[in-house]
Amino acid sequence: MSHETAMAEGGFWRDTGRTGIGAWIFSTDHKRIGLMYLYCVFGFFLVGAFLGLLIRLELMAPGPTIMTAQTYNAMFTVHGVVMIFLFIIPGIPASFGNLVLPIQLGARDVAFPRVNLFSWWLYAIGAVIVLVSLFTGGGAPDTGWTFYVPFSARTTTNVSLAVFGVFVLGFSSILTGINFITTIHRMRAPGMTWTRIPLFAWSLYATAWVQVLATPIIAITLLLVVTERILGLGLFDPTRGGDPVMYQHMFWIYSHPAVYIMILPGMGVISDIIPVFSRKPIFGYKMIAFSSLAIAAAGSAVWGHHMYTSGMSDLGVLVFSFLTFIVAIPSAIKVFNWVSTMYKGSISLEAPMLFALSFILLFSIGGLSGLILGAAATDIHVHDTHFVVGHFHYVMFGGTGFAFFAAAHYWLPKYFGRRYQEKPAIIGWVFMFIGFNILYFTMQVLGMEGMPRRYYDYLPEFARLNFVATVGSWIMLAGVAIVVWNLWRGLFRGEPFTGNPWGGASLEWSIATPPPTENFEEDPVVTHGPYDFKGVGVP
Amino acid sequence: MSHLEKDSFGAKLGMWLFLFTEMLLFGGVFILYSVYLTRYPKEFGLGGHQLDLVYGATNTVVLLTSSLFAAMSVTAIKTGAKKLTLGLLSGTIGCAFIFLGIKYLEWSAKFHHGIYPNSPKLIAGPPGESIFFGLYYLTTGLHGIHVIVGAVLMSWTAVMVSKERINAGDNVTLENVTLYWHLVDLVWIFIFPLYYLIL
């Protein structure tokens, strides 16, 4: 036991010269940076979830319940900003990407370790700026996370600082993207051909391209909001000849591709977990890898579907609607390939697999409801209703959020050298899954019945379903609490985790637990694919 | 690729990716320009004629010269000519200051005529004129910030060269900084005709 305890605290955890917090915040080790990202994004997830709970509490009954209308506006804005820019965009790529990517490629670190640390610092600085903006100036922004002009140019709340914080976060995201692209091109171990790269790394590759190519557009757009507020250039001000719809175009040119920054790494996690827990090679490796790139490419040309009701020509609506449907094809390719992988597999329903399976179901519901929104005729009916809110929570939380927890249960024991208990993980998952569906499916029904999003008050006929949705949020909270408590206790004080208990065939399962600082003592030579389980040993 | 050797190809790949993002950043401004140009062609024409061609053309020559110095400095460091490299880098930095000085004169003249963001004159004028000068200040301002960043990077590189941390064998950092400087130059090569020449 003493030997195993020493093991669990060894590896890259061992002090590397510096002591205390300096050993972390100045470390260029990708594993330490990945863990720092993980703690931050996870903290912000809890903050965002708490705000979401308060929003649901307010909507539990018609009329004022626990907060004023202005507070409510600030709540949904901050919930969106925190969840999107501080949790979900850096969520999987920056935390698990940093932890796993170099090891999966057989490298000792990313291509630019110091840039990697710099990008974490930018993330931390951006996060602090966003947090400061909530409590200074005119108070927390109340524009919604989309910062639409002309309201965002005129509101007295502290939009300028919040937007500047998001600008800094975007810079961080770009640098991570550049780092990952270069790493994947240049740092692969001998024998790690493009068709032997694990699918998680492939998904990070596609994500990184979107980060590099789309984020600069939001950067300039957000700068324009700041200059609009501070200098009064009038570029989006209709009284001065500007066009607010131009803002919406520029915002969504980034922010639609950004949803693929959010979902693609989640899909990568699922593509790595499903074959391991089905004891079967992945079905359609090349198609899954290719479909990530296809989603990234097609997803860059569909931003207009956010703007069907903003004043767009019928031809524009038609083209954007068509392109939107095209994105569904590579997404469906992935879903069918995951299901085919499980066919006749020896499926083992452990915690990572349960989260992965629920990802497939919830993402499918979210994706299909996205087609209802992508079709111009039906979109007019449900535009800006709770149907939209339900849709993107199915994709973002049911998709990426569940993938985040799947990744946490799958990879974190490897890095901590200790494991969580299986039973509480599964109980927590059951609560999360049930609560999730009660909450967000009800929202979709509410939207179909015509309840608008972002409204403080609503008609009495929506009262019953709103009450049900709020109860769902409590059940989900219970599930998240169990899962988090179990992970926390397990990873820091649980049983030792050694070897390769799940039988993964990618490189991270071939090295010591926890991984040593240098990952590999000698550069590995890769002789088989990441899902070639022959010789790995069936657990 | 092992970690034991420095991967200068990888470093340049990373830099080129970063330059893509810079182009896209300015791309956003150019999109606004093209949209508003088609909406207000007459006001853009009038606005363009108010810009000073002499200032603009001089600055173009200054920036092109600075880029020449920057390119020559890369050739110089590869032959190990440290003093020559430092001289050429100072030339680049000097050109950057001349550029900013001329920009200052140009902007002050405009301010003097009551043309600045949110000025009473622009607010009272036709909407397209306010948009034109709004874009003019935005684009040249954003470009000016890049000139300043480039000059700072150049100075830092010069320090590295004088400490011989950048030398004949290991000079990818200098090459990357000059790549950045060429981008700053290139963006101006687009700004100059769009605002000064074609309108």
Of A107, A111, A223, the CB nearest to B14: A111
pLDDT category of residue A537 using cuts at 50, 70 and 90: low
Q: What is the pLDDT of residue B2?
A: 47
Structure tokens belonging to residue A52: 């979401």
| Nearest-neighbour CA in chain A from B43: distance (Å) | 11
Q: What is A41-97 written as a DSSP string? A: HHHHHHHHHHHHHHHHHHTTSSS-SSS-HHHHHHHHHHHHHIIIIIIIHHIIIIIII
* Predicted TM-score (pTM) above 0.90: yes
Segments forming the whole domain that contains residue A399: 24-510
Please state the domain count of chain A.
1
Give the residue on A whose Cα is nearest the Cα of B19: A212
A223 contacts B7? CB cut-off 8 A: no
B27 contacts A174? CB cut-off 8 A: no
CA nearest neighbour of A384 among A146, A81, A53, A217: A146
Please report whether residue A161 resides in a domain.
yes
B135 contacts A241? CB cut-off 8 A: no
pLDDT, one tens digit per residue, over A41-76 is 999 999 999 999 999 999 999 999 999 999 999 999
Q: What Cα–Cα distance (Å) separates residue A513 from each residue in A4, A404, A460, A493? A: 10, 21, 57, 16
- Per-residue HEC secondary structure of A247-312 comes to HHHHHHHHHHHHHHHHHHHHHHHHHHHHHHHHCCCCCCHHHHHHHHHHHHHHHHHCHHHHCCCCCC
3 state SS of B109: helix
Q: What is the DSSP letter of B197?
A: I
Q: What Cα–Cα distance (Å) separates residue B179 from each residue in A119, B73, B87, B139? A: 21, 12, 18, 20
Give the CATH number for residue A356.
Answer: 1.20.210.10
Angle, vertex CA B59, rays to CA B53 and CA B65, nearest 5: 140
Tell whether omega for the bond before A524 is within 30 degrees of 0, i.e. cis. Answer: no
Q: What are the chain A neighbours of B46 within 8 Å (beta carbons)? A: none
Q: What Cα–Cα distance (Å) separates residue B29 from each residue in A12, A172, A218, B103? A: 45, 21, 12, 19
ipTM: 0.93
Place of tokens 């974490």: A120
Q: What is the DSSP letter of A452?
A: B
Beta carbon pairs, A and B, within 8 Å? 116
What's the mean pLDDT in B68-73? 97
A221 contacts B17? CB cut-off 8 A: no
Distance CA A150, CA A434 (A): 40
Q: What are the chain A neighbours of B17 within 8 Å (beta carbons)? A: 177-178, 181-182, 212
Distance CA A9, CA A14 (A): 7
Of A178, A223, A246, the CB nearest to B18: A178
| Nearest-neighbour CA in chain B from A220: distance (Å) | 6
Identity at A409, one-letter amino acid code: H
A233 contacts B138? CB cut-off 8 A: yes
Q: Where are the beta strands (DSSP E) in B42-116?
A: none
Q: What is the pLDDT of residue B87?
A: 97
Please report whether residue A505 resides in a domain.
yes
| Nearest-neighbour CA in chain A from B161: distance (Å) | 20
pLDDT category of residue A333 using cuts at 50, 70 and 90: very high
Give the residue on A whose Cα is nearest the Cα of B141: A227
CA nearest neighbour of A225 among A143, A343, A303, A323: A143
C-beta of residue A418 within 8 angstroms of C-beta of residue A492: yes
Please report whether residue A188 resides in a domain.
yes
Distance CA A433, CA A355 (A): 9
Q: Give the least confident one: A195-199, A215-219, B3-7.
A: B3-7
Distance CA B117, CA A230 (A): 10
On whether any CB of chain A is under 8 Å from the CB of B119, the answer is no
C-beta of residue B147 within 8 angstroms of C-beta of residue B99: yes
For each of the domains in chain B, give its residue range(s) and CATH number, in order of start: 16-197 (1.20.120.80)
On whether any CB of chain A is under 8 Å from the CB of B151, the answer is no
pLDDT, one tens digit per residue, over B140-197 is 999 999 999 999 999 999 999 999 999 998 999 999 999 999 999 999 999 999 999 9
Give the DSSP H or E segment for A496.
Answer: strand A495-496
Torsion A414-A417-A423-A427 (CA) sign: negative
Q: What are the chain A neighbours of B26 within 8 Å (beta carbons)? A: 220
Please report whether residue A525 resides in a domain.
no
On whether any CB of chain A is under 8 Å from the CB of B135, the answer is yes
Please report whether residue A429 resides in a domain.
yes
Q: What is the pLDDT of residue A197?
A: 96
Q: What is the pLDDT of residue A19?
A: 75
What's the mean pLDDT in A513-519? 90
A232 contacts B117? CB cut-off 8 A: yes
Please report whether residue A194 resides in a domain.
yes
Please report whether residue A368 resides in a domain.
yes
